[in-house]
Amino acid sequence: MSRFWSRLTHDLKPYVPGEQPRIAELVKLNTNESPFGPSPRALDAISAEAADTLRLYPDPQASALRTALATYHKVRPEQVFVGNGSDEVLAHTFAALLKHDAPLLFPDITYSFYPVYCRLFGIAYDAVPLDQAMRIQISDYRRQAGAIIIPNPNAPTGVALSQAEIAKLLEDHPDVPIVIDEAYVDFGAETAIPLVASHPNLLVVQTMSKSRALAGLRVGYAIGDDDLIEALTRVKDSFNSYPLGRPAQAGAIASLQDEDYFQQGRARVIEGRERLTQGLSKLGFDVLPSSANFVFARHPANEGAALAAALRERAVIVRHFSAPRISDYLRITAGTDAQTDRLLSALSEILAAHSQ
């Protein structure tokens, strides 16, 4: 460690993103990227921004994009905040809304960036255990809380809560900020955005990285009461006034305007997820019910780490987590039919070899 580092830097344990390996003929199913490309209209809009105007700063308020999102989600532009991917939106949320005297609550098995943000911003937190079926139980959150953040669907499990369950959580905690992280909501879960109108403590965070196939563009957003959005804006403008470039704003708007492509793409991903689930089940895997663009599965006779390593030897990459409760699970992105076939064929070979 460098003697020039601050004490904060010494104490950080950064988030570890899914690897982006360079392997020939790789089947990459570890980072929940879309197997299909973005809307052609989005690509055209992005290309059009590669012009002389790039010498000028983008709109720091991203007014046109916020208006487009407000129209799409049937809210007011003042209820929309945008940022450089939902990770940045979440970081600003942790700083602006989630540090209080009582601890922040979130699931014990969830997006592993949450405890990283807590360490970065000095936020005390309690991890609330999932039940034995790897589900979030709203009743387990009836305890003292300074704030609550829950992904819906949860990650890495893929299991979703209903909108009614989110409403119950809000009813139980009317006086603390509640954040619903909906990175994967478009693949089968119910959004909590309609609840914003009647719950001033609710912030809903979404991304264009997954269902809109724009992970490389880095566009995320939050929808909530004006007061919550103002808090996020105060943090943003104390950190980076220009988080979204011109190509990102234009591409995001164009994607919102291509509803047919969006609906077709998400339907194809859902179909691929169901095909993947059926294939894994036939191989003897236990697969959690997923409402995301991935599945979380384990094989009762094989360790997760060993399966992930054996798949890697066959140029198939999936995500393995070493945390105790989930160390035998693999998180597998729903890919194309060809990618799924490669995965299932490789697993069939591995399981046959292990049984001998």
pLDDT tens column, 79-95: 999 999 999 999 999 99
Exposure letters 278-294 (e unless 16+ CB within 10 A, then b): ebbeeeebebbbbbbbb
Is residue 283 very low, low, confident or very high in pLDDT (cuts 50, 70, 90)?
very high
Q: What is the pTM of this model?
A: 0.95
Asked if 181 contacts 86 with a C-beta cutoff of 8 angstroms, the reply is yes
Is residue 8 very low, low, confident or very high in pLDDT (cuts 50, 70, 90)?
confident
Q: Report, in this order, helix, strand and coil percent for the chain, each rounded to 5.
A: 45, 15, 40
| Token pair listed for 192 | 């909590």
- The pLDDT score that the predictor gives to residue 126 is 98
| Token pair listed for 102 | 């009582």
Instruction: Tell me how far apart the alpha carbons of residues 159 and 151 are, in angstroms, rounded to a whole number.
Output: 10
| Token pair listed for 269 | 């991903």
Crossing angle of the two packed helices 337-355 and 259-282, in degrees rounded to 10: 10
Asked if 232 contacts 48 with a C-beta cutoff of 8 angstroms, the reply is no
- The pLDDT score that the predictor gives to residue 156 is 96
Instruction: Tell me how far apart the alpha carbons of residues 141 and 170 are, in angstroms, rounded to a whole number.
Output: 11
- If you average pLDDT over residues 8-23, what whole number do you get? 76
What residue ranges define each of the domains in the chain, with the CATH number in brackets? Answer: 7-37+260-355 (3.90.1150.10), 40-258 (3.40.640.10)
**DSSP tag of 81:** E
Sheet containing 316-320: which strands, arranged edge to edge?
Answer: 27-29, 316-320, 329-333, 294-298, 286-287
Q: Pairing relation of β-strands 294-298 and 329-333?
A: antiparallel
Instruction: Tell me how far apart the alpha carbons of residues 171 and 189 are, in angstroms, rounded to a whole number.
Output: 20
pLDDT tens-digit profile of 184-227?
Answer: 999 999 999 999 999 999 999 999 999 999 999 999 999 999 99
**DSSP tag of 193:** G
Asked if 177 contacts 170 with a C-beta cutoff of 8 angstroms, the reply is no
Residue type, 106: F
Nearest to 333 by CA among 31, 112, 38: 31
Give me the sign of the Cα torsion angle 343, 347, 350, 353: negative
From first CA to last CA, the distance across the chain in angstroms is 47
Q: Which helix (H) or strand (E) holds 151?
A: strand 147-151
pLDDT at residue 324 tops 90: no
Q: Report the Cα 167 to chain-centroid distance in Å.
A: 21
